[in-house]
Amino acid sequence: MLHSIQPRPVSSDQSDVLVRDELEAELRARELWQHVLTKKEREEIQRRGYLELASRIHRCRAYRIYQGGDRRVRVYLKLWFIRLFRGELCINPVVRVPPSDKALMHKLQIEGNEAEYLRIAKFFRLKIWLQLPFVLESR
């Protein structure tokens, strides 16, 4: 089961309707995840909180898409059993969408047309001296 959804505090009836609509949209997005992801992918995101996709055009690259879609896609260089953090990719939709739909959008765009995704995405690279304490992560 994916993490529970917590509504934002609101004060007016109109805001209550908006929050309820957002929660319903998020629940529909999570239901869509169940149909799009394989069993192995669902287990991975349940266990780790992210889905790791291997690049189809860069042999040693992996992308981490975090559950909920509220974080940028992280890019790693795969070296045997470790991952070297390279930076983050950011694409935001023009209209407001549920966080889980954003995460699913990243997955489908990377799998569908990775080159176009990389062309559109804004790449954020940390300065090397900022990377040193957490640059290596084991799988």
Residue pair 45/51 in contact (Cβ under 8 Å)? The answer is: yes
Structure tokens at 126: 């940390």
* pLDDT for the residue numbered 63: 96
- Tell me the whole-structure pTM to 2 decimals: 0.75
Task: Look at residue 12 in the predicted model and tell me its pLDDT.
Answer: 56
The domains of the chain are located at 13-138
Distance, in Å, from the CA atom of 64 to the CA atom of 106, rounded to the nearest integer, reads 10
Q: What is the pLDDT of residue 24?
A: 86
